[in-house]
């Protein structure tokens, strides 16, 4: 049934809604939140055979999960902090994800430049330990490279005092594309995942146990009451809002830390190798990562008081990235060179010690089970989303005394799986869908909607028909990455995108105008003036 839903065209979400509304029995799991964490839990539970519904208040990966540094990594920085357990877990997950989604996760070389003999020793030994921790799931061995080699690979690098560098391997990916492929995997395995459905209240049974949720379809403004045996709070930086619904006055469980990225043309960093700058002035590492023919620079770690779906980059964060990266790039970038700036919020488990800085808080995940048996998950990383899913479903089975079922996700290919990825193909991230997409282009594959970003009109129709895109923002932010790669170019193509969408979705001119205006306003926040 679900497979046929994948091909029902624009009615896709409507058909889902009807089936959800018509469901008379309770769901086994109702998962709140369609980011990496919720999707990982939903896929794990679905593939164990549970009846699963995931609801996302906005679009899948609208929150933090589309705003990462795009690394599938063990975490060199966490090793420096001595968090070997997290590095081991993340390194294993990195290997599994590389194996299960080879169309999205790339083996990426990283270079750490070294300027002192002590650093040479520190990074050579440290990265050998990093390789060793990953064991047979390592993506390759680290090596020391000479000053001459590093200057050849990174022509803009500061040569004075340079002793050489250490080259190591980590994974690189497209975060929101992985999220969309996970949604498709959930559907294909018999589960339900739907966007624009917001949980507004939790339902309790006569014993005070969580028994479902009131959910608002934010498109049709219609409310539903959904019953479930287990309700999971996987809402990232919003977990405390759901915990307040569960028990008003609950203590805060997370603290929020903002990270900003800048995207530049690749002429500023033409190397295929990524750069890792250790020991920046804010005590974090800074990355320059090649991504979709551009380079992503980041990130920062700034504690913030309130969570939002559209966090704003601070001037001091922008200046810090431009200045720090400027020392390593071919040409020092100016504000006007920035193609896009985006900010994301880390949902970190609140520190044990009140004074702990956000960059020192472990990125490990934590599960909390409320007295009402609401299941909440905090912290984590994109890289470990699968393990987080497995741990949560194990915990639910244990707490609710369900018959234990074995997880299968460690060897489950993710939608789009394709072993022979050509990273130069502009449609590589569609994996096994790429031939079908090309077929639908009907010989027009070179007629771009955006030549600069290699975006084709057919991708818009595809996003609606197969990937549940509902708005111009869904298409230009998370099905394609236009907004994140070049915000001005995304504004330029928004009107045509809206026109195509209106036609496919059967919307009128006022919808089209609303979409264009809304998107333009949003894109302004990604542009540095």
Ligand X SMILES: Cc1cc2nc3c(=O)[nH]c(=O)nc-3n(C[C@H](O)[C@H](O)[C@H](O)COP(=O)(O)OP(=O)(O)OC[C@H]3O[C@@H](n4cnc5c(N)ncnc54)[C@H](O)[C@@H]3O)c2cc1C
Q: For residue 324, how many C-alpha atoms fall within 13 Å in the half-sphere facing its CB?
A: 26
Closest by alpha carbon to 225, among 509, 381, 23, 448?
A: 23
Interactions with ligand X, residue window 267-286 (CB under 6 A):
none
Identify which range of 70-78, 185-193, 263-271, 444-452 contacts ligand X by CB under 6 A. 70-78
Interactions with ligand X, residue window 166-225 (CB under 6 A):
198-199
Nearer to ligand X, 164 or 379 (CB): 379
Q: What angle do CA 99, 262, 462 make, to 5 degrees?
A: 55
506 SS3 class: coil
Distance in angstroms (rounded) separating the CA atoms of residues 87 and 73:
8
Number of residues that bind ligand X (CB under 6 A): 39
- Using CB under 6 A, pick the residue from 12, 46, 47, 68 that binds ligand X: 68
Identify which range of 44-52, 118-126, 316-324, 374-382 contacts ligand X by CB under 6 A. 374-382
Nearer to ligand X, 63 or 113 (CB): 63
Whole-number minimum distance, CB 42 to ligand X, in Å? 11
Interactions with ligand X, residue window 323-352 (CB under 6 A):
344-347
Whole-number minimum distance, CB 103 to ligand X, in Å? 18
Whole-number minimum distance, CB 62 to ligand X, in Å? 5
Whole-number minimum distance, CB 409 to ligand X, in Å? 16
Distance in angstroms (rounded) separating the CA atoms of residues 378 and 385:
11
Nearer to ligand X, 382 or 427 (CB): 382
Which region holds residue 236: left if phi is over 0, alpha if psi is between -120 and 50, else beta? left
Nearer to ligand X, 123 or 196 (CB): 196
- Using CB under 6 A, pick the residue from 156, 212, 259, 389 that binds ligand X: 259
Whole-number minimum distance, CB 342 to ligand X, in Å? 9
Nearer to ligand X, 145 or 304 (CB): 304
Written as one string, the DSSP assignment of 452-485 is TTTEEHHHHHHHHHHH---SHHIIIIIIS-HHHH
Whole-number minimum distance, CB 94 to ligand X, in Å? 9
Nearer to ligand X, 50 or 342 (CB): 342
Strands (E), 51-127: 52-55, 71-72, 106-114
Distance in angstroms (rounded) separating the CA atoms of residues 440 and 449:
15
Distance in angstroms (rounded) separating the CA atoms of residues 440 and 459:
9
Nearer to ligand X, 338 or 449 (CB): 338
Whole-number minimum distance, CB 157 to ligand X, in Å? 22
Identify which range of 110-118, 248-256, 376-384, 512-520 contacts ligand X by CB under 6 A. 376-384
Closest by alpha carbon to 437, among 417, 460, 468, 421?
A: 460
Interactions with ligand X, residue window 379-438 (CB under 6 A):
380-383
- Strands 27-32 and 52-55 turn out to be parallel
Nearer to ligand X, 235 or 421 (CB): 235
Give the tokens for residue 296. 């992503």
Q: For residue 350, how many C-alpha atoms fall within 13 Å in the half-sphere facing its CB?
A: 10
Whole-number minimum distance, CB 131 to ligand X, in Å? 19
Interactions with ligand X, residue window 3-62 (CB under 6 A):
32-38, 55-58, 62
Nearer to ligand X, 128 or 198 (CB): 198
Whole-number minimum distance, CB 353 to ligand X, in Å? 22
Nearer to ligand X, 329 or 349 (CB): 349
Give the tokens for residue 493. 């193509």
Q: Determine which helix (DSSP H) or strand (DSSP E) holds 213, and give its type and residue range.
A: strand 210-217
The reply on whether position 460 binds ligand X by CB under 6 A is no
Q: At what angle do helices 487-505 and 509-524 cross, to 10 degrees?
A: 160
Peptide bond preceding 482: is omega within 30 degrees of 0, i.e. cis?
Answer: no
Rounded to a whole number of angstroms, the CA Rg of the chain reads 23
8-state DSSP, 497 = H
Whole-number minimum distance, CB 19 to ligand X, in Å? 19
Nearer to ligand X, 238 or 462 (CB): 238
Whole-number minimum distance, CB 158 to ligand X, in Å? 25
- The 224-243 site mask, x for binding ligand X (CB under 6 A), equals ----------xxxxx-----
CA 362 to chain centre: 19
Altogether, the residues listed in the chain come to a count of 529
411 SS3 class: helix
83 SS3 class: coil
Q: List interacting residues with ligand X (CB under 6 A).
A: 32-38, 55-58, 62-65, 67-71, 73, 198-199, 234-238, 259, 299, 309, 344-347, 380-383
């Amino acid at each position: 049934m679900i497979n046929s839903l994948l091909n029902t065209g624009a009615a896709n979400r409507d058909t889902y809604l009807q089936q959800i509304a018509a469901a008379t029995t309770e769901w086994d799991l109702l998962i709140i939140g369609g980011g990496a964490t919720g999707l990982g839990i939903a896929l794990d539970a679905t593939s164990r055979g549970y009846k699963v519904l995931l609801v996302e208040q906005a679009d899948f990966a609208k929150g933090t999960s589309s705003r990462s540094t795009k690394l599938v990594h063990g975490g060199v920085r966490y090793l420096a902090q001595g968090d070997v357990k997290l590095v081991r877990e993340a390194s294993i997950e990195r290997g599994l994800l590389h194996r299960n989604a080879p169309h999205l996760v790339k083996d990426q070389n990283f270079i750490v430049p070294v300027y002192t003999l002590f650093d040479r020793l520190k990074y050579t030994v440290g990265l050998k330990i990093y390789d060793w921790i990953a064991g047979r799931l390592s993506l390759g061995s680290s090596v020391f490279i000479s000053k001459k080699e590093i200057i050849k690979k990174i022509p803009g690098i500061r040569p004075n005092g340079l002793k050489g560098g250490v080259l190591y391997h980590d994974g690189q990916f497209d975060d929101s594309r992985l999220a969309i492929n996970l949604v498709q995997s959930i559907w294909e395995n018999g589960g339900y995942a739907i966007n624009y459905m917001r949980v507004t209240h939790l339902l309790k049974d006569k014993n005070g146990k969580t028994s479902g949720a009131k959910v608002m379809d934010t498109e049709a403004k219609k409310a539903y009451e959904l019953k479930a045996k287990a309700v999971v709070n996987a809402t990232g930086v919003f977990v405390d809002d759901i915990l307040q619904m569960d028990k008003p006055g609950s203590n805060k469980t997370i603290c929020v830390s903002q990270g900003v990225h800048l995207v530049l043309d690749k002429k500023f960093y033409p190397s295929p190798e990524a750069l890792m700058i250790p020991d920046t002035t804010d005590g974090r590492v800074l990355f320059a990562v090649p991504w979709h023919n551009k380079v992503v620079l980041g990130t920062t770690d700034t504690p913030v008081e309130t969570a939002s779906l559209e966090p704003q980059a601070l001037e001091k964060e922008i200046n810090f990235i431009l200045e720090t990266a400027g020392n390593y790039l071919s040409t020092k970038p100016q504000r006007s060179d920035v193609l896009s700036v985006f900010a994301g919020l880390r949902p970190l488990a609140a520190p044990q010690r009140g004074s702990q800085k956000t960059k020192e808080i472990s990125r490990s995940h934590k599960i909390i089970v409320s007295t009402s048996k609401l299941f909440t998950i905090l912290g984590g990383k994109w890289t470990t989303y699968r393990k987080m899913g497995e741990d949560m479903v194990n915990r639910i089975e244990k707490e609710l005394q369900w018959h234990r079922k074995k997880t299968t996700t460690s060897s489950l290919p993710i939608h789009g799986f394709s072993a022979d990825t050509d990273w130069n193909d502009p449609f590589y991230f569609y994996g096994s869908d790429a031939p079908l997409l090309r077929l639908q282009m009907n010989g027009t594959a070179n007629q771009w909607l955006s030549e600069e970003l290699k975006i084709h009109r057919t991708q818009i129709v595809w996003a609606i028909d197969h990937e549940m895109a509902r708005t111009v923002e869904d298409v230009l932010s998370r099905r394609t990455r236009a907004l994140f790669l070049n915000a001005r170019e995304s504004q330029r193509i928004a009107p045509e995108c809206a026109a195509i969408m209106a036609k496919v979705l059967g919307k009128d001119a006022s919808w089209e105008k609303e979409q264009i205006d809304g998107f333009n306003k949003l894109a302004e926040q990604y542009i540095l003036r």
